[in-house]
Amino acid sequence: MKRVLIGGLVHETHTFLAGGTGLESFAEMIWVRGAGLLDRCQGDVSPMGGALEVAQRQSWKVYPSVYGAAMPSGAVTDEVLESWWAAFAEDLDQALQEGLDGILLILHGAMAFASFPDGEGELLRRIRARLGDRPLPIAADLDLHANFSLQMARCANIFTGYRQNPHTDARQAGERAAQLLDQVMKGKGLPQVVALKPLVLYSPKGTSTTAEPMLSLERMARRLEADHPELLEVCVLPGFAYADVPCAGVSFCATTTGDPHRAESLLAPLAQLALEQANAGNPLDPPIAEVMPQVLALAQGPIGLIEPSDNIGGGTPGDGTGILQALIQYGVKKSAVVINDPQAAAACHTASVGERLQLCIGGKVDHLHGPTLELPVELLRRTDGKFSLENEKSHLASLVGRQVDMGLSALVRHQGIHILLTTRKTPPMDLGQLRSQGLVPEDLYLIGIKAAISHKAAYDPILRASFYVDTPGLGSSDLSRFPYRHLPRPMAPLDP
């Protein structure tokens, strides 16, 4: 029976956002330890759930440690790091006394702490240092948008990563991490991890695995695994471009039981293709004013207006008003947008359904996502904002489970435009978000969607057409707008 310590810390950090991400943000989503980890994750579709299933199947003795996750947002406070580390180090020391065969971590790969821009690298460095000269394998699962670092490669022995975007394979990635760890614990010797970073950024919109360049890169990676059995896993990691950190950018890493130099040479064609496809990995969005005439030329909906600039799944506040302004300007009825605005939602909960209100909506977190709009509205519905996911295998399910809590929410209408006001920003990864609040998405003419790629699994099957639009916001697909200071240079496509 193999004895394994399991834990994790998951956050995608948007370093250009003001404000930090503290313990309260993790507590709001996931912060569990010991038996709480098992209660929270066993049987769900998260990477942790997948890893725990393998652990049960292989009859591991599991030492559950601390596991935290928060929605994408600004830099993670050092308090979170030290709180997590204090708990994990205590559990590690106890497990070492009882006997330990391996460590399994569920991470993201694009986490940045206030004092440590390579967040996962710092966690792994501390763990490896704590182990001293003990030859224990460390396995870690990563999100596809990880900003992989050479420190991460030095400190762990196994990495697995998501292979699909939208992320519908999170559980499978966790399963693979556990399966490879089990294989290594039962074998001889530790794998090594090698990585190549071709100095190129891809915007989130350019990282869909159903389009180039990711489609070809993933195929090449799977071919390498098939042709070279010593490569236990090849991860294609296009990175998270809104993290201004030295390890940002597209990465490729391989877990190998063979010659690491040979593994590195096998990764070289992927790195070369990624660099050659810098433009394909950075598709730009047309101004919304150019798009609206094309939209209105279509007689039937639903039509999606996709707004990467306020991509909630990428950390932005979700209170941008760019699309709402366009709907008002063009008088688009039977339309809907979701605006995260706790103040406006709270105001609706002091009024009666059917009442007409004057509300100040959106544009409150900062001045970068459009102005606050003062609008006369009719209150149609008030709810607690809780709903059950329609797709229990979606990326949202892998993050929060089957039940989602948007906080106090309200549905209002302005000149035929439906505005769903929420208290907790919720990425548009499931149609249950709208349906639970009284909207039938299939019956709408136009839907504003604050996403880049993550919406596609839910929305593409019902949309007759979709249009990407450029609006104000810190999720812009035009990376030249961001004041990077910490990237290695030259970095494509920013530099000639």
- In tens, the pLDDT along 447-481 reads 999 999 999 999 999 999 999 999 999 999 999 99
Residue 400's pLDDT is 87
Residue 394's pLDDT is 86
Handedness of CA 50, 56, 58, 63 (dihedral sign): positive
Q: Is the pLDDT of residue 198 over 90?
A: yes
Handedness of CA 333, 468, 396, 312 (dihedral sign): negative
What are the pLDDT digits (tens) for 393-404?
Answer: 888 988 888 899
Q: Is the pLDDT of residue 110 over 90?
A: yes
This prediction's pTM:
0.97
> How many of the other CB atoms lie within 10 Å of CB of 69?
21
Residue 401's pLDDT is 87
Residue 451 per-residue DSSP state: -
**Residues 139, 175 contacting (CB under 8 angstroms):** no
Report which residue type is found at 1: M
Spatial neighbors of 204 by CB under 8 A, at least 6 apart, are 145, 240, 241, 308, 311, 314, 452, 453, 475, 477
Distance CA 349, CA 374 (A): 18
**Residues 243, 13 contacting (CB under 8 angstroms):** yes
Interval 42-53 mean pLDDT: 97
